[in-house]
Amino acid sequence: MNSKLLSILPLVGCFAFVSCYPLPDKPRTEGSPKKDETVTSEDQQKIQDQRDRMKEEQEQAEQTADIPKEKPISGTTTPPDKPVSGPRDYAFANPVPGKEGFVFSPYNNKLVDVRDIPSGTLVQDPTYPASEKKYFRVP
């Protein structure tokens, strides 16, 4: 039994000696990334390309927005757009407390009769002459 133990002992010693010996690392020449490149998967690369394109498009849009539009060389010109008049273009009259159908003019605070006129309607102030044409909306 001792002879079996003695014959296995050198094998265990050789194995222990070989396992402690450091093996040199092989230089990686084929798949090593360059300094400026990063290793990414194909999907990540596609996403990065899309982001780059979106940034370029956004920069181009900003640059074209800063450039003033040139006037047309030919004799044809387009008329400027007229501003759309909305309900907030004119002042609203103030209702008279206790008297329905009467309001105070927003221009001179005089009493104006607006009975049977729907709310929000544009009305000419009767206290001003037609040449001045002051308008207000019925509350």
For the chain, the C-alpha Rg in angstroms (whole number) is 44
Mean pLDDT of 32-40: 58
Domain residue limits, the chain? 88-139
pLDDT in tens, 88-114: 578 899 999 999 999 999 999 999 999
- The tens digit of pLDDT for each residue in 45-60 reads 888 898 899 889 888 8
- Residue 132 in this model has a pLDDT that exceeds 90: no
Mean pLDDT of all residues belonging to the chain: 78
pLDDT of residue 59: 85
The pTM of the full predicted model, rounded to 2 decimals, is 0.38
